[in-house]
């Protein structure tokens, strides 16, 4: 057996040893509607219908849900465009998975899974609406 074949077998064995959930956890897509003002009415209506009850009518924090306007606060502080883009993609993945899978903590469901309820374009329209509602950031000290 050649070294190349051994490496292939090792890689296959490593892949097969991963839990199936790890294989399914690829990064989500970046928000294809980011900055598209045309989807704001759709996003606002969908947010009001599906999200406002827990996240507040102003997209702000309530006892039930966090302030979604602050999801990318850290990313916006980054100065390097490439790093900021990478950070925004990570936030998009977090948002995407949270919406599709819902949130469960300590065995209690805190947010329903919307995977079979909301179409992709509506999920991203909601995110675009939330991003348009960002609170003003405090100036650096």
Helix 120-132 × helix 81-101 angle, to 10°? 130
Max mean pLDDT range (43-47, 54-58, 61-65): 43-47
Task: Please state, in angstroms and rounded to a whole number, the distance separating the CA atoms of residues 94 and 135.
Answer: 20
The CA distance from 66 to 84, in Å, is 22
Instruction: Please tell me the predicted confidence (pLDDT) of residue 137.
Output: 58
Instruction: Specify the fold of 30-132.
Output: Cytochrome Bc1 Complex; Chain D, domain 2 (1.10.760)
Tell me: pLDDT of 15 over 60.
no
What is the mean pLDDT of the segment spanning 7-32?
53
Mean pLDDT of the chain: 79
CB 78 within 8 A of CB 87: yes
Q: What are the tens digits of pLDDT across the range 119-131? A: 999 999 999 999 9
pTM value? 0.73
Those residues with Cβ within 8 angstroms of residue 99's Cβ, 6 or more apart along the chain or in another chain: 114, 115, 118, 123, 126
- 109, β-bridge pairs: 104
pLDDT at 65: 80
| β pairing state of 103-105 and 108-111 | antiparallel
Q: Where are the domains of the chain?
A: 30-132
Average pLDDT (10-35) is: 59
Under DSSP, the state recorded for 28 is P
């Amino acid at each position: 057996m050649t070294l190349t074949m051994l490496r292939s077998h090792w890689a296959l064995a490593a892949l097969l040893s991963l839990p199936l959930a790890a294989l399914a956890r690829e990064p989500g897509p970046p928000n294809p509607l980011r900055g598209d003002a045309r989807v704001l009415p759709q996003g606002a209506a969908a947010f009001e219908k599906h999200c406002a009850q827990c996240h507040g009518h102003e997209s702000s924090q309530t006892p039930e849900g966090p302030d979604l306007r602050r999801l990318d606060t850290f990313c916006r502080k980054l100065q390097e465009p490439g790093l900021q883009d990478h950070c925004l993609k990570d936030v998009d993945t977090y948002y995407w998975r949270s919406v599709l899978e819902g949130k469960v903590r300590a065995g209690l469901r805190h947010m329903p899974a919307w995977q079979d309820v909301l179409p992709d374009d509506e999920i991203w329209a909601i995110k675009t609406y939330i991003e348009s509602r960002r609170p003003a950031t405090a100036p650096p000290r």
